Amino acid sequence: MNNIPNTIFSVNAPDFEEKVVKASFEIPVLVDFWAEWCGPCKALGPLLERIVISYGGKVALAKVDVDANHELASRFGIRSIPTVKIFLDGAVMDEFVGALPESDIRAVIDSIASDGTADLLANAEKLFEESQFDEVESVFTDLLEREPGNTGALIGLSRLKIIKGDEAGARQLLCSIQETDVQYEEAKTLIGALEFFKICKQHGGLKKSLKGSEKNPGDLEARYILGCCYAAENSYREALETFLSIVRKNRQFGDDKARKAMLTIFAVIGSNSALTAEYRKQLAMEVF
């Protein structure tokens, strides 16, 4: 966005036309009409800021203090606060009143800000499930050229790099995702998958780990290392089966790390994967 240095800013009557109306021809601009004395405004404001930040520059937030801007409040018919009006192409496209839940606010924004990215990501996920990895990489790479900060593409491409064994590439992508991003926790989970490579290398690789586990079948740590090596080698069924056997033997082993490893694999191969569905069900039977 060229004419606004930041995507979150205060605005008054003199600069409203420039910062909101004209700017909305580039990206949607949410206008938060608020006041210092308004309790719900104080709850909504930080939530709006966090949501807007998560869109990585695709949406802006303008804050209007109604006590200092009676003219703007009157012009836009503000009768209750907080009121949020969403401008696009110079006009109000949608609005809501009150402190809505985050999911509802995102739904309103997405209905206006959608540019086909969601469809591209959904198609890439389908290709991922079909193991058409070259096509998946092309979709994510093209999307990141267009939108360098697109978290969905960063997450998707990092999953692909994990499967291909590109530990450094995956780490670089995942570490670029900010803590304020709505998908940050997912990124943290995927960073956990990189531990599979580290642990396996530290213990001599798959063949050595397999021999160690066979030699000491009751050694849960040896079995855990074997599961990590299977995961590092993309043998996800074998890895899940190995980790599940540890959960069955001792759920609390290593601070529940076998169950956590299974959840990490689910994140890598995708929640819609048939393998995820199969082992999520088996894990649930053991845990609950």
Q: Tell me the pairing of strands 83-88 and 29-34.
A: antiparallel
Concerning whether 229 is annotated as a catalytic residue, the answer is no
| Rounded Cα gap, residues 223 and 1, in angstroms | 52
What is the spatial distance between Cα 190 and Cα 100, in angstroms, rounded to a whole number? 31
What b/e string do you get for 79-101 counting C-beta neighbours within 10 Å, with b at 16 or more?
eebbbbbbbbeeeebebbeebbe
CA dihedral 57, 158, 260, 132 (to 10 degrees): 120
Which residue, among 130, 133, 178, 189, has the nearest Cα to 157 in the 3D structure?
133
Tell me how far apart the terminal alpha carbons of the chain are, to the nearest angstrom: 50
- DSSP H or E run through 235: none
| Active-site residue, from 41, 200, 228, 229 | 41
CB 144 within 8 A of CB 153: yes
| Residues that are catalytic | 38, 41
